[in-house]
Amino acid sequence: MSRMKIGVLISGRGSNLEALIKATQAADYPAEIVLVISNRPGAKGLEHAHAGGIASQVIDHTAYADRATFEQALDKALRAKGVELVCLAGFMRILNADFVNAWRNRLINVHPSLLPAYKGLHTHQRVIEDGARLTGCTVHFVRPETDDGPIIIQAAVPVLTDDTEETLAARVLAYEHKVYPEAVRLIAEGATRVRGHRVQIPAATWAVEGLINPEIPGDVD
């Protein structure tokens, strides 16, 4: 089986990288990670790459005169490994339109909210402050606009009355670890079709039951 070659960009602990590595260890998973790049020396996620026997590289953004030359170095390293899909996994750098467009529909990200709601930072704090009952996470194709692009997969989780930013973040992160490998699998199997701002997945099995929070006793008509 030919496996799609994945490059993963990280900046920190790499928990989503770890989830992707675990998924790729399955014999029937249709993708493999061929390169992990961190823009920060000493990022803990590099340890996951080393433990998994995966090639890794540090491309320190502070060593470059500007964002464009930094991204040229990223692009060169990814192409040298034959990367077909780039996964942002806690990569804390805004990417220029030139880089994003060069990898159009081959660059994905996971965001800790149900996009298009709560783009940007401090999502869990804002969700709690707004009194939202549901939140979640989204894997999407990246576009030049921040936290924008066709949505591949989402997972919803309830916001509990006593939630703190930390407890809600942990609940959402657990689902990030589930949906990110699934999104990669769908892409690698050729199951996704980008049509405008929407992703079509013709062969997918769709969940038909909703999630209500708080639960309502009895049947819902």
Domains and CATH numbers, the chain: 1-103 (3.40.50.170), 109-206 (3.40.50.170)
| Residues carrying an active site annotation | 111
pLDDT at residue 221 tops 60: no
Place of tokens 């989204």: 138
At 219, the pLDDT band (50, 70, 90 cuts) reads low
At 206, the pLDDT band (50, 70, 90 cuts) reads confident
Averaged over 37-45, what is the pLDDT?
Answer: 96
Averaged over 31-41, what is the pLDDT?
Answer: 98
Which DSSP letter does residue 96 get? P
Would you tell me how many other CB atoms lie within 10 Å of the CB of residue 83?
22
Would you tell me how many other CB atoms lie within 10 Å of the CB of residue 59?
18
- How far, CA to CA in Å, does 88 sit from each of 20, 28, 39, 139? 11, 23, 12, 10
Q: What is the pLDDT of residue 207?
A: 75
